[in-house]
Amino acid sequence: MAQKVIKSVMLLVLLSQAISLVFANWFFPIQTVQIISDLTPLTNLTVHCKSKNNDLGEHVIVPPDSYTFSFKNTMIGSTLFFCSFQWPGDNNLHWYNIYDAKRDGRCNNHCCWFVQTEGPCLGTDNGTHCFYRKDYCYPWNQ
């Protein structure tokens, strides 16, 4: 009798864990941000991204490569990642809010950003590739 109770409790615990994982992934899916250097001529791009709680460190994007990071949005949808950008030949430090939960719901869990000298452009993702769209280009933050 005691073994049946123990097995039942263990089954309930495992079932509740599985349900909570499915529930969490359904309501709070993993978000991915991909940053692509679209500088001309092809130039290395140094990127340093942070959120309130995470410093992702400095990364150098060598064309045609990209830098990608993933995370889970907060329960209240307030996640914000900002990045600084530098490249040879420009002494300025540029920055942009590369992911803003309030703005980037249109990304469908994968935001593609093409970085140009004038600012970043939000691309379109078809599930396997990112495509440049010039109608979603933004100036650098000041």
Distance, CA of 26 to CA of 29 (rounded, Å): 6
**DSSP labels, 55-102:** EEEEEEE-TT-EEEEEEE--TTS--EEEEEEEETTEEEEEEEEEEETT
pLDDT at residue 41, as a whole number: 83
pLDDT at residue 72, as a whole number: 92
Radius of gyration of the chain (CA): 20
For residue 33, pLDDT beyond 70:
yes
pLDDT at residue 23, as a whole number: 45
For residue 26, pLDDT beyond 80:
no
For residue 22, pLDDT beyond 50:
no
- Using DSSP bridges, classify how beta strands 110-116 and 30-37 pair: parallel, antiparallel or unpaired: parallel
Residue range 136-140: average pLDDT? 95
Residue range 110-122: average pLDDT? 95
pLDDT digits (tens, 9 = 90+) for 83-99: 999 999 999 999 999 99
Q: What are the b/e assignments for 19-33, b being 16+ CB within 10 Å? A: eeeeeeeeeeeebbb
Q: How many CB atoms lie within 10 A of CB 136?
A: 14
